[in-house]
Amino acid sequence: MVRGEGLTVSDRFPVRVEITIPCNLCYVSLARQVIGHLAASTARIRQSKVDDLKLAVSEACSNSIGAYEAKRSMHSSLNRPTEGPQDSGGYGGSVGPAVPSVDEVVRITWTEEETFVTVRVKDKGPGFDPQSSFALGDPLETMSGRGIALIRALVDSARFESGPDGTTVEMTLGKARPSHSRGRFGPPQRGAD
CA dist list (Å): 93 to 20, 73, 83, 90, 148: 34, 17, 12, 8, 39
Task: Tell whether 85 is covered by a domain.
Answer: no
Q: What's the rounded Cα separation, in Å, for the pair 166 and 122?
A: 7
pLDDT in tens, 120-146: 999 998 888 777 645 555 555 555 567
Task: Tell whether 38 is covered by a domain.
Answer: yes
Instruction: Give residue 69's pLDDT.
Output: 84
Task: Tell whether 8 is covered by a domain.
Answer: no
Tell me 98's DSSP state. P
Domains in the chain: how many in total? Answer: 1
Q: What's the rounded Cα separation, in Å, for the pair 123 and 28?
A: 13
Q: What's the rounded Cα separation, in Å, for the pair 146 and 148?
A: 5
CA dist list (Å): 24 to 11, 20, 74, 105: 36, 11, 18, 9
Task: Tell whether 82 is covered by a domain.
Answer: no
Give the residue among 76, 168, 74 at the shortest CA–CA distance from 119.
Answer: 168
pLDDT in tens, 102-117: 678 999 999 999 999 9
In one letter, which amino acid is 167? T
pLDDT in tens, 90-99: 333 334 445 5
Mean pLDDT of the residues in the chain:
77
Instruction: Give residue 59's pLDDT.
Output: 95
Task: Tell whether 152 is covered by a domain.
Answer: yes
Which structural domain range is residue 144 located in?
24-76+102-181
Q: What is the mean pLDDT of residues 168-184?
A: 73
Task: Tell whether 9 is covered by a domain.
Answer: no
Predicted TM-score (pTM) of this structure: 0.72
pLDDT of 177 above 70: no
Task: Tell whether 7 is covered by a domain.
Answer: no
% of the chain beyond a pLDDT of 90 = 47
Q: What's the rounded Cα separation, in Å, for the pair 57 and 27?
A: 12
Would you say the C-alpha torsion 53, 172, 21, 123 has a positive or negative sign? positive
Task: Tell whether 10 is covered by a domain.
Answer: no
* Residue 25: partners with Cβ closer than 8 Å, 6 or more residues away: 62, 65
> Which stretches within the chain are classed as H helix?
28-37, 47-78, 133-136, 146-154
Instruction: Give residue 189's pLDDT.
Output: 40
CATH of the domain at 116: 3.30.565.10
Q: What's the rounded Cα separation, in Å, for the pair 8 and 48?
A: 23
